[in-house]
Structure 1
């Protein structure tokens, strides 16, 4: 599948995302499905979910960014279409005050994809990849998991300014959590990430993002501990 080119400085990524969704679903079906439903309403539903008001970081823009990063890492994927579908679903259900978001997102994929004419094997693999984003710790023999997790974590390697904006958006999503509790919880997340032998498993992801991501995570953790 040929990736859709990214439009520079796009303020509204939804038209491009709709195009990408249609192409990805067509590729995932793998053959003609004359009775399969139009994928457009499913795009409407997913984009509506990604646009919910409680989101500050896990937004349509995040979805678009993950898909662009998957494009960068496409050569490492076994089934690029499955990884792209997993990106669409990986935070489709997102409530900052709930702990089962990934499970509910995977369940959504398990319901929606068969309706769209996607086969059982690919549906199961999409759901597995979505559940993998709980830990972002794919096995060494899981190239599709490595691509999805690297793409999802690429935000950690942004410039100091972009990373600060990301961290601020995460704090906004958890605005209902008192500062001491947020500091403790966020510090645990950062420490868990820093404890991984490698944040990025693909060769390109590691070369591009490992060191700036560790720098950013360490800086944020130091700031939290000094707060």
Structure 2
């Protein structure tokens, strides 16, 4: 956590903090931690943020992503799930609004504006015309193409976040979401992620969807 905190403060100083002393990095960190560190964040917590930053680090120097504002991407990663209420459908918009609120005098900076747009793009993970948003979305969906044990842990953590939802309703809703993803021509929008993860992601999603449709007894 200390390494993540130090990275955030460095990022904030390079981007938002350049607007002046009125931008309080400690207050921004506290606002983030009140979300990511909350009880019930079984998947959408600091671990998710750290995973996306690590994933970004692994590809930021690839030729496909040359010319992107990688600080804006990191800013979007750090804020994109800061607000996460399983009972609402506007979490991404509210997370982008949190960034704006914390940015203070830097609200008009291109880095903040672009990060906000990337955060909003993760709401539906739909095809984007913006290369940076495409990478942001692919990073957010990278877990779908993870090794089966990692994917299973992710799916279990998501279920715990929705523990209040009755099992039958959960199965119907979650399976429907997975089927809609599987109906897309491509899950990933960048060549690199498409080549590396598309096949594995489809296998993972199909296996989970089949299990959900089968029901607790395992019979479809």
Same fold? TM cut 0.5: yes
Contact 2:72 2:115 in 1 (8 A): yes
Displacement of 1:218: 0.6
Partner of 2:54 in structure 1?
68
**1:104 to 2:90 alignment:** no
Q: Separation in 2 of the partners of 1:33 and 1:123?
A: 11
In the aligned structure 2, how far is the partner of 1:122 from the partner of 1:137? 22
1:51–1:60 contact (8 Å) kept in structure 2: yes
- Provide the C-alpha distance between the structure 2 equivalents of 1:198 and 1:23, rounded to a whole number of angstroms: 35
Q: Does residue 16 of the first structure (1) align with residue 3 of the second (2)?
A: yes
- Give deviations 1:67-117, integer Å, cap 9, x for gaps: 1111123241611111110111111001111111111111111211234x3
Which of 77, 84, 94 is 1:87 aligned to?
Answer: 77
Taking only aligned residues, the RMSD between alpha carbons, in angstroms, comes to: 1.8
2 CA distance for matches of 1:33 and 1:124?
A: 14
| Distance (Å, rounded) in 2 between the aligned partners of 1:29 and 1:161 | 38
Q: Give the aligned length.
A: 211
Question: Is the 8 Å Cα contact of residues 22 and 104 (structure 2) preserved in structure 1?
Answer: no
Structure 1 partner of 2:112? 123
Aligned to 1:224, what secondary structure does the other structure show?
Answer: helix
1:41 alignment counterpart: 27
Q: Distance in 2 between matches of 1:37 and 1:105?
A: 18
Mapped to 1, the partners of 2:74 and 2:179 lie a distance apart of 28
* Corresponding position: 1:221 with 2:219: no
Pick from 140, 159, 167 the counterpart of residue 147 of structure 2: 159
TM-score by length of 1: 0.86
Shift of 1:124: 2.0
Equivalent of residue 196 in structure 1, options 184, 190, 207? 184
State the secondary structure of the residue aligned to 1:71: helix
Moved over 6 A (4+): none
SS in 1 for 2:29: helix
Corresponding residue SS for 1:58? coil
**In structure 2, C-alpha distance between the alignment counterparts of 1:110 and 1:87, rounded to whole Å:** 14
Question: Whole-Å Cα distance in 2 between the matches of residues 138 and 23 of structure 1?
Answer: 31
Q: 2:100, 2:107 within 8 Å by CA — same for their partners in 1? A: no
Higher mean C-alpha deviation, range 90-99 or range 39-48: 39-48
**Whole-Å separation in 2 of the counterparts to 1:213 and 1:190:** 11
1:177 and 1:214 mapped to 2: Cα distance?
25
Q: Deviations over 1:130-160 (max 9, x none)?
A: 1111111232x31111111111111111111
Structure 2 CA distance for aligned equivalents of residues 29 and 54 of structure 1: 29
Cα 1:143–1:205 change in 2 (3 A) is same
